[in-house]
Amino acid sequence: MIETRTLNNGLRIVTEDISTVRSMTIGIWIGTGSRYESAEENGISHFLEHMFFKGTKTRTASEIAESFDKIGGHVNAFTSKEYTCFYAKVLDQHAKKALSILADMLFHSEFDEEELEKERQVIIEEIKMVDDTPDDIIHDYLDEASFGNHPLGRPILGTEDTIQKFNRTSLIEHMERFYTPDNIVVSLAGNQTEEVMEHVESLFGELSSRQTDFLIQPPSFLTEKTVQQKETEQAHLCLGFPGIPMDHEDIYALTLLNNALGGSMSSRLFQNIREEKGLAYSVFSYHASFLDSGLLTVYAGSGLEQLDEMFEATMKTIQDVKANGLTVKELENGKEQLKGNIMLGLESTSSRMSRNGKNELVLGHHRPLDEVLQRIEAVSLEDIKRTAKYVFQSDYSLSLISREGKYPAALWQESLL
């Protein structure tokens, strides 16, 4: 059972007791990411995430790492466009210890100037690594083509220029603005006790109550086409289509549509582009949902000499889905696969912690599993066709990386959708 309690300062704690395991996964979720940054601040949320591991008033960076190693635990963090999460998985007997270390990192980090300079270089190297990975950076290019100057169009890591400008003061100011009790969720999943809950409340209940003051602006979906010339062996292509928010009534219809299009090995794109035509090794689609919007992405990588054929085959597959929807078999197979993925995911305390923390932070509610399964089962072929017509509109965004830096010739045909 999922239980949520709100402390007097506004901080929320969501718990799911799983008495059949001997582990505990702890996640601290904060409502900040690249979407909440100005152009000048781009990358500061991710930079701040790194700095929380670089030492507190009582622990050095190496002591933080050693603290988790010696209890056999795992600790990590990530930053997305709309939230940041710090998490640890430990044996249940070490849950209080792990909570204490995470709280120490978040609220007593020193942001030492020497450590800050070292981490600045680490992040710049991370940016360079992504830039040297065309099948990774191509998705950042698509975000920019789809959302332009809106924060959703900017990279989570920031740029070398913005990273060079951050200092201790700017990091602390960002933390004080967004790391407020009303903007934090502590998610626990595993074999827990009331003693652990009391420890959470003692660690987080004393935070002074402050409110975040950032209002997000919804993006407009653009249909820009961008091409980058790089010395690559393959051409890397991304197509972008307008998606839907994460709490939209058609979210399960779009999930099933994406699964049939390019979300699995039996999908149309995989079977057509890879298995039948042999035009690509990697071809897939995925949908990213945000608070008020979304983006459906199709990716394929192919030899430059096959780019035109691959592009046309991809567009014809999308055209067919838009015009005719899915078959009964595709819909039923997709439902079983989606339900299976959800049920199998529930066997992991990490997945449960992540699901609960994200739902509480972003949506503010938790759908019972039975309701989720019912909503999936209720999706009809008409729901799929309606959703496909919304997503696959008259135009799309595109990003391409290739050795020649030229668009596919078929792009200039009158209409591909």
Which strand (E) or helix (H) includes residue 241? strand 234-242
Which residues contact residue 185 at a Cβ distance below 8 angstroms, ignoring those fewer than 6 apart? 11, 12, 13, 14, 28, 29, 357, 360, 361
The DSSP call for residue 55 is B
Which residues contact residue 215 at a Cβ distance below 8 angstroms, ignoring those fewer than 6 apart? none
d(CA 264, CA 285): 9
Contact between 210 and 182 under an 8 Å Cβ cutoff? The reply is yes
d(CA 171, CA 161): 16
Which residues contact residue 376 at a Cβ distance below 8 angstroms, ignoring those fewer than 6 apart? 252, 256, 335, 338, 339
Residue type, position 266, single letter: S
d(CA 37, CA 174): 9
Indicate the pairing of strand 184-190 with strand 12-17.
parallel
List the Cα angle 338/291/351 in 5-degree steps.
40
Strand ranges across the sheet with 84-91:
2-6, 12-17, 184-190, 23-30, 84-91, 74-79
d(CA 82, CA 35): 6
Work out the widest C-alpha separation in the chain, in whole angstroms.
Answer: 66
The active-site residue, picked from 49, 82, 144, 330, is 49
125 catalytic residue (yes or no): no
* Residues with catalytic function: 49
